[in-house]
Structure 1
């Protein structure tokens, strides 16, 4: 099922789809691999149902793929260009794409509804757009349960911005030419924010920053936050975060697991539950990820397959070769299983 996939994008434009297996070894099995962009893959985002994958390149090129059930070959639905690479990509519940741009604009692209190729000029001319007061580093669509939604076809955006604050914006169906005013604003981090995530059930949002804090908030009570000082700010703080429901039999009702990864490669796991604070658990030991491949990688954009150069494996502590530098990885959790992993 698409919900059991992990997507991995690398600096050579190659996309890999790994299948998560719960009862077989290896637990991760490479199922599909193609060079999808001519540039480094910088952003990946699954739709909420796991049926579509948005891919962003460092040069502003974007691709939307359909992931058919049953392990069939992924299909390229659309390929469009942006003036610059987006700082964040997020799917809406309606199957559209929210694209946060470095110039503080947010675009609402048709997403899975679009077909074919669109130039940068055509994309900007046909896409609803709003301008934020400060550029979004990361954003998510507020869930349907959010009490502050405007309705009327507007999309409610929760954005972690360069002013080190968390803002809530309403995006009208046709966009707006004026700079938008946030409906809610709260301090987020003392140093540069790095990432924002929404829990799978829409109950929590969590952010991380270079200050090393993991900040967890209930969606309908954004003013109240639980800040966990887990990561070393001297080493760059935290870089990414993921929140999933805690499905273990002994877990209290409403509890979630918060995974966060630091710039030093150390991952932490914490538990949180509504209105009861958080409890820090043991850190997951640091472990380098190595990908060693020697096969050619076919391209899906029409060029001839290009070989992937691989250096000789120098042992367990060796760094992965530059040609396989991981630039973005994302996954969808299967909510129907009893396992939750980052």
Structure 2
């Protein structure tokens, strides 16, 4: 089965379950960027991020017996909630392995969705893998990786199909599509969808400073790993390195990666709130930050930014608005 066929099949299973999120715009953002800015508002997706798409696609693709046995996933919070919500809807038990320093709201929401949460030290990803492997062996659970899983990638690709349709409706046939990027599941899924449906649109990953493994990997042509494993506001997209499945897709289809500062992410959060009435978490605002504050890094009269998630703790969001709201 081809990549686009997998994406189309995932889209069919998502019908009636995932939201078709809107493409938003504001003349104020256009003025800042110096071009037309279209914002794909995946923060409005079920569970507060695009991760619901991949979670549903992966859980719904499991054989019935495997679904009944249950699933295990590891995540800093957004994949956790997406898988937990999908598992609950399918009547499947879910265990989610999460960093102990995950935002409190993400830990609480994952538990509220009925999942069992097991925490680990983010600086020791081997511990995460060991816990998940134990769950697979001892409980017979199916592992759903956050990005290196073909059904997850296919589910995220459904977002790319929507982008292709909405860009055409907006009269945009050539543009960079900036994607907040961790391990590359969404970026590669969108890239595959655009290749098939909108070849004039080019996916480009966006990462926070200090965690630019994908940008460096695309430049060198081989998988590069981050030295730091934690310590960024953009917790949602902090991964050690690109995936074994996702990197070849991104290397073939994506433009050069972009890197943004945490301060610009917070400025973008404040602008999204004031101009679009959209709540974003720092990691979900990296693409918008690049679109607004790195205009020379993209080409063409329009740019599309995927606003990937809005699961931000209230205190951090309030602090961001206090600090950066005046400039928005």
Question: Normalising to structure 2: TM-score of the pair?
Answer: 0.28
Task: Give the number of the structure whose residues are more often strand, by fraction.
Answer: 1
Comparing both chains, which one has the higher relative contact order based on Cα–Cα distances under 8 Å and sequence gaps of 6 or more? Answer: 2
Radius of gyration: which is bigger? Answer: 1
Task: Give the number of the structure whose residues are more often helix, by fraction.
Answer: 2
